[in-house]
Chains A and B, each alone.
Chain A
Amino acid sequence: MNKQEQINKLVEEALTSFDDAKRAAAKPYLFTRIQARMNKEEESVWEKAGWLITRPAVAFTGICLVVLINAAVIFYSKATIQVTNTEVAVQNTTDEFSYTVSGIYDIENTQP
């Protein structure tokens, strides 16, 4: 038998190797294991949430977000305070030097 014939024979043997194969049986107590898995899945929703939060990447991102929000709040509140202070200063100067333009009516009807 030459090499090509030998190869053809091996190929045919391989192709028919599944013939008469029996169905593989599942491992025992499958139903019990399925039930246990279903119960575990129900319980583990909160565990998964906890696990997710405690993952280093998620925890680090969370902390960074909190720090960023705090920094943003401080920055914007400072800017608002500065604007308010400037407005108060202008108002005080206006009051002190009586910048208010009086009309002819005010001059003629001066209060005692």
Chain B
Amino acid sequence: MIEQLQQGDESAFKKLVDDWQDMVYNTALGIVKHADDADDITQEVFIQAYKSISSFKGDSKLSTWLYRITLSKALDHEKKKKRKKRFGFMQSLFGGDVEEQVLAAEFDHPGVQLEKKEKARELFNALNQIPGKQRIAFTLHKLEGQSYQEIAEIMNTTLYAVESLMGRAKASLKKELKNYYDNNIAEK
């Protein structure tokens, strides 16, 4: 299939999209927490994959390669969004749209069970507060069901480093959530 893709075979490209679209979309959605943005990133990932398939040497699995592109695109998107946020105040002065920030805080992942949606929303908000690598490791493990070994390959690091990242991610999330509930319950 990779050879066919490298030769520019359209049917092979269609198969690649059909096989991996949900994986790419779900990963992007877990990072950017916005359905339209995740859809946009998914398209960009496959276009990038089509253009740079010649550079794929098969050292890693195709899925690992796609995960790496997805994470890179999603994180770039986040950086751009943060840059926009810095000028949010100026934008609001000139009638800009601040609704997007509110939407991010109210994000509901479509795959989460209905009775857990509220708690998942709070977890997503807490995830926004922890360092990027911890967030990626946690999201890949919990939302994509990737093993620590697979995460290590995707993040190009060691198994020990992933275990450490996951430990720190859980601790950071606990701290963030405790602060959140502490303030929330006190208000009530």
Residues of A within 8 A of B (CB): 3, 6-8, 10-11, 13-15, 17-27, 30-31, 33-34, 37-38, 41
B123 touches A24 (CB 8 A): no
Within the complex, the shortest CB–CB distance from A56 to chain B, in Å, comes to 17
- Give chain A residues whose Cβ lies under 8 Å from the Cβ of B182: 7
- Give chain A residues whose Cβ lies under 8 Å from the Cβ of B173: 14-15
Interface membership of B29, Cβ < 8 A: yes
- Give chain A residues whose Cβ lies under 8 Å from the Cβ of B116: 13, 17-19, 21
Which one, A8, A11, A23, A37, contacts B144 given CB within 8 A?
A23
Known: A14-B122, A26-B42, A30-B43. 6 other contacts (CB 8 A): A11-B178, A15-B174, A17-B120, A23-B111, A27-B39, A38-B50
B178 touches A21 (CB 8 A): no
Q: In the complex the two chains form, what is the Cα distance from A22 to B123 in whole Å?
A: 16
Whether A14 touches B119, Cβ cut-off 8 Å, given contacts A23-B22, A24-B110, is yes
Provide a sorted-by-A list of 5 A–B residue pairs whose CB atoms are within 8 angstroms. Answer: A6-B181, A7-B181, A17-B117, A21-B120, A24-B38
**Residue of chain A at shortest CB distance from B111:** A22
Q: In the complex the two chains form, what is the Cα distance from A21 to B27 in whole Å?
A: 13
Whether A17 touches B119, Cβ cut-off 8 Å, given contacts A22-B111, A23-B111, A34-B47, is yes
Interface membership of B21, Cβ < 8 A: yes
Interface membership of B69, Cβ < 8 A: no
Residue interface mask B1-43, A partner, CB < 8 A = 1: 0000000000000100110011111100100000100110011
Q: In the complex the two chains form, what is the Cα distance from A42 to B23 in whole Å?
A: 27
- Give chain A residues whose Cβ lies under 8 Å from the Cβ of B122: 14, 17
Within the complex, the shortest CB–CB distance from A31 to chain B, in Å, comes to 5
Interface membership of B148, Cβ < 8 A: no
Residues of B within 8 A of A (CB): 14, 17-18, 21-26, 29, 35, 38-39, 42-43, 46-47, 50, 109-113, 116-117, 119-120, 122-123, 126, 142-144, 170, 173-174, 177-178, 181-182, 185
A7 touches B43 (CB 8 A): no
B112 touches A21 (CB 8 A): yes
A18 touches B144 (CB 8 A): no
Which one, B18, B119, B126, contacts A13 given CB within 8 A?
B119
Within the complex, the shortest CB–CB distance from B35 to chain A, in Å, comes to 8
- Give chain A residues whose Cβ lies under 8 Å from the Cβ of B177: 10-11, 14-15
A21 touches B113 (CB 8 A): yes
- Give chain B residues whose Cβ lies under 8 Å from the Cβ of A27: 25, 35, 39
B178 touches A7 (CB 8 A): yes
- Give chain B residues whose Cβ lies under 8 Å from the Cβ of A37: 43, 47
Within the complex, the shortest CB–CB distance from A15 to chain B, in Å, comes to 6
A18 touches B21 (CB 8 A): no
A14 touches B123 (CB 8 A): yes
B43 touches A33 (CB 8 A): yes
